[in-house]
Amino acid sequence: MTDSTRMSSENAARLSDALTAVVVSYNVRPLLDRCLAALGRALDALGEPAAIVVVDNTSRDGSADLIRGRYPSVRLIENARNVGFGAACNQGLALAGDYVLFTNPDLELEPDALPALLDRLRSTPAAALTGPRLRYPDGRPQPSRRRFPTLGSLLVESTPLEWRGPRWKHLERMRCAGDPEVAAPVDWLSGACLLGRTAALRPAGGFDPRYFMYFEEADLCRRLRANGWQTWYEPAAIAVHHGSRSADQDLPAKDRNFFRSKYRFVERHWGRVPAQAMRYAAGALFAGELAIQTARRDRELVRRYGALVRWHFSREE
- In this predicted structure, what is the pLDDT of residue 194? 98
Is residue 305 within 8 Å of residue 286, measured between CB atoms?
A: yes
Half-sphere exposure of 258 (CA within 13 A, CB side): 16
pLDDT of residue 245: 60
> How sure is the predictor about 47, in pLDDT bands with cuts at 50, 70 and 90?
confident
Every domain of the chain and the residues it spans: 5-246, 249-312
**Which is it for strands 99-103 and 19-25: parallel, antiparallel or unpaired?**
parallel
CATH superfamily of 5-246: Spore Coat Polysaccharide Biosynthesis Protein SpsA; Chain A (3.90.550.10)
| Predicted pLDDT at 15 | 56
What average pLDDT is seen over the chain?
92
Question: For residue range 259-316, what is the model confidence (pLDDT) as tens digits?
Answer: 999 999 999 999 999 999 999 999 999 999 999 999 999 999 999 999 999 999 998 8
Quickly state the pLDDT bin for 251 (edges 50, 70, 90): confident
Burial of 18 (0-12, 13-18, 19+ CB in 10 A): middle
3-state secondary structure (DSSP) of residue 64? helix
Q: Model confidence over 54-81: pLDDT tens digits? A: 999 999 999 999 999 999 999 999 999 9
Predicted pLDDT of residue 49: 87
pLDDT, tens only, 133-186:
999 999 999 999 999 999 999 999 999 999 998 889 999 999 999 899 999 999
Residue 191 reports pLDDT greater than 70: yes
Could you give the count of Cα atoms lying within 13 Å of 160 in the half-sphere of its Cβ?
A: 17
Q: What is the pTM of this model?
A: 0.90
Judged by DSSP in three states, 292 sits in helix
5: pLDDT confidence band, cut at 50, 70 and 90? Answer: very low
Q: Where are the alpha helices (DSSP H) in the chain?
A: 9-12, 29-46, 63-70, 85-93, 113-123, 151-156, 160-164, 169-174, 198-201, 216-226, 251-270, 272-296, 299-312
CA angle 104, 235, 266 (to 5 degrees): 55
Quote the percentage of the chain above a pLDDT of 90.
Answer: 85
Report the distance separating Cα 246 and Cα 26, nearest Å.
Answer: 6
Whether residue 19 contacts residue 40, with contact meaning beta carbons closer than 8 Å, is answered with no
CB 90 within 8 A of CB 202: no
